[in-house]
Amino acid sequence: MSLCTTRGVLSCGYNSTRQTGTRDTTSNVDSFLLVEHNDVPLEKIVLVTCGEYFSTFLTEDHLVYSCGQNHHGQCGVGNDAQVVSVPTLVEALKGLIVTNISCGYYHTIYLLENGQAWTVGCANDGRLGLGPSIRNDLLSPQHIPPQTFNFEDITKVACGGTYTIFLTSMLLIN
């Protein structure tokens, strides 16, 4: 994916689950196409992130949209539809000030302006950061409580395929 300053977002590549966000329904988008959807303010997109077969888009108004494969709920749209075929608003984050997003293979982490992190998707291997009691996939984003791993005020987030890393400004030491 590429972020353009005047036209919007361009995308190309493998598209089996509509992860490119384009109107092209073929499995391969061979040249860059404009990501288009009537409900997405493309001119306001400031960040694009890609997971394994899914994509997320963040607008300057802090709205999050997602499309592509969703079999673990990683798109965060609140249902277990196998494919989210067009960029769709992540309603659970509406009203929150999302500033950064990172995607793993089948999970997504959203960083908020206030240092909170929210997570959604595949719960395998502890990648969501919600502790050992959470083993079911999350279909809607959920707040990661600071006491879960003794941190607060997250400043950066990065996801690998099956793990998550936070940079914090403060560790809570007991």
- Across 25-34, 35-44, 93-102, the highest mean pLDDT is recorded for 93-102
- Contact predicate 75/54, CB 8 Å: yes
CA 25 to the chain's CA centroid: 22
Q: Which amino acid is at 11?
A: S
Q: State the sign of the Cα–Cα–Cα–Cα dihedral 69, 75, 77, 79.
A: positive
Q: Degrees (nearest 5) of the Cα angle 100, 101, 106?
A: 170
Rounded to whole angstroms, the Cα distance separating 101 from 108 reads 7
- Residue range 102-113, pLDDT digits in tens: 999 999 999 999
- Per-residue pLDDT tens digits for 124-144: 988 998 888 888 999 999 998
Q: Label residue 78 left, alpha or beta by phi (over 0 means left) and psi (-120 to 50 means alpha).
A: left
pTM of the model: 0.88
Q: For residue 102, give the nearest of 155, 149, 42, 150 by alpha carbon.
A: 155
Q: In whole numbers, what is the pLDDT of the chain averaged over residues?
A: 86
Q: How does DSSP classify residue 38?
A: T
What does the pLDDT read at residue 3? 58
